[in-house]
Amino acid sequence: MAHINENFLKLQKNYLFADIAKKVSAFKESHPQANVISLGIGDVTQPLAPAVIEAMHKAVDDMSTKETFHGYGPEEGYLWLREAIAKNDYLARGIQIEPTEVFVNDGAKSDTGNISELIRWDNSMAVTDPIYPVYIDSNVMIGRAGVYEDGHWSNVTYMPCDEANQFVPQIPDHRVDMIYLCYPNNPTGMVISKEELAKWVDYAIKNDAIILYDAAYEAYIQDPNIPHSIYEIEGAKKVAIEFHSYSKTAGFTGVRCGYTVIPKELTAKTADGHRVEVAPFWDRRQCTKFNGTSYISQRAAEAIYTTEGKKQIKQTIAYYMENARIMREGLVELGLTVYGGENAPYLWVKTPNNAPSWKFFEEILYGAQVVCTPGVGFGQAGEGFIRLTSFGNREDCLEAMTRIKKWLKA
């Protein structure tokens, strides 16, 4: 008899955004004339950059003739894209990353979820709270998270990020094996300084831990003093894996492409104490379970690094950050407490009168026909907050602020 992996039974209800979709769908059914504006789910709205579109058209043409047709590509990604990544995202910032240390994927979500396979199921982990749900759920699925009690998993160390500590996670007072960090942070939109990030690198070196660093939103950083990569910190190559995505950087949510960096210097121990490089194991895993990102998507990603591509991507990011400014200033004028939105496309808004997150979600949906994301969906420390995204159309952002203002002042 086949037995199900019972770790899946431990997962808490539905995925957060599936719950939101159900609630919004129920509202639309009962209010068919309502024009709902979504500022909740972080999907982009602006079209792909012209340079990207041109590259994709050419790539499609390549597939139309025998001479230029591409079938299976390298599971790690085509070398020309890996070289472009190493040159533009790292060398340009004074960081030496070899193209062979770059692994192209179909988006950061896949690799941040799958990376847990590299580390023994009984290793401990630490996460910031609130946190992107995929980090926890993927570890629940393989049995690492332990038992769920009172809103927490027994084998997970939670590091609250709240107003009390100015959203700076405190380093654990004990040893953990895996540490998930995401900066600029999803969901709070907050960033981390080089000084604070250096403390984490030092901790990982001292405790022989691995940092899983999600830099999916680094392109939105406006402050020149904020690190774009953990590898800006000395010693980080020995202890960190870094994830990048083109989804929000270049609007690739429907194209699917990103990459993971695993330096050759990163090692881990076997049960008998031998040290081994981590990258070859990830390479082996990818070659077994992944056939590589499509040729067309990779040519699209390559175009981001052209002169025109860089210019066009910056314009799109500026558009979203202007949305964030409009939303942030509008909400502050209403007397709301707002974090983020300055170096990230997310705003972390404190609910009025300490209203529970899901209660406020319902109130703003029915009162202003605006969709947000309940902060508690990202963890217990997110209770009393909501997340808003700046990825909408400008007209929708302006209309949403008008509606919220009218609703709150009613």
| CATH number of residue 146's parent domain | 3.40.640.10
Please check if 339 is assigned to a binding site.
no
In a domain, 3, yes or no: no
Please check if 381 is assigned to a binding site.
no
Please check if 247 is assigned to a binding site.
yes
Tell me, what's the pLDDT at 17? 85
Residue 19 is part of a domain; what is its CATH number? 3.90.1150.10
Compute CA distances 253 → 48, 53, 106, 250, whole Å: 10, 14, 10, 9
Distance CA(212)–CA(219), nearest Å, equals 18
Distance CA(344)–CA(223), nearest Å, equals 11
Tell me, what's the pLDDT at 15? 75
Among the three residues 263, 283, 305, which one is the final residue of a domain in this structure?
A: 305
Please check if 264 is assigned to a binding site.
no
| Residues 249 and 122 both lie in one domain | yes
Among the three residues 273, 305, 337, which one is the final residue of a domain in this structure?
A: 305
| Residues 277 and 373 both lie in one domain | no
Please check if 42 is assigned to a binding site.
yes
Length of the chain: 410
Tell me, what's the pLDDT at 41? 82
Cα 255 from chain centroid?
16
Please check if 305 is assigned to a binding site.
no
| ∠ CA 312-314-317, rounded to 5° | 115
Among the three residues 285, 305, 325, which one is the final residue of a domain in this structure?
A: 305
Please check if 180 is assigned to a binding site.
no
Tell me, what's the pLDDT at 184? 98
Burial class for 14, CB neighbours closer than 10 Å (0-12, 13-18, 19+)? exposed
Residues 6+ apart with CB under 8 A from 229: 89, 90, 93, 95, 215, 218, 242
Please check if 284 is assigned to a binding site.
no
Listed as ranges, residues in the chain with pLDDT below 50 are none
Say how many domains are in the chain.
2
| Residues 321 and 298 both lie in one domain | no
Please check if 387 is assigned to a binding site.
yes
In a domain, 5, yes or no: no
Please check if 72 is assigned to a binding site.
yes
State pLDDT tens for residues 191-233: 999 999 999 999 999 999 999 999 999 999 999 999 999 999 9
| Residues 283 and 300 both lie in one domain | yes
Closest CA to 43 of 135, 103, 109: 109
Tell me, what's the pLDDT at 3? 95
Please check if 132 is assigned to a binding site.
yes
Tell me, what's the pLDDT at 13? 72
| Residues 318 and 288 both lie in one domain | no
Helix (H, G, I), strand (E, B) or coil at 56: helix
Show the domain range for 17: 12-41+313-409
Distance CA(232)–CA(54), nearest Å, equals 33
Please check if 71 is assigned to a binding site.
no
| Residues 176 and 298 both lie in one domain | yes
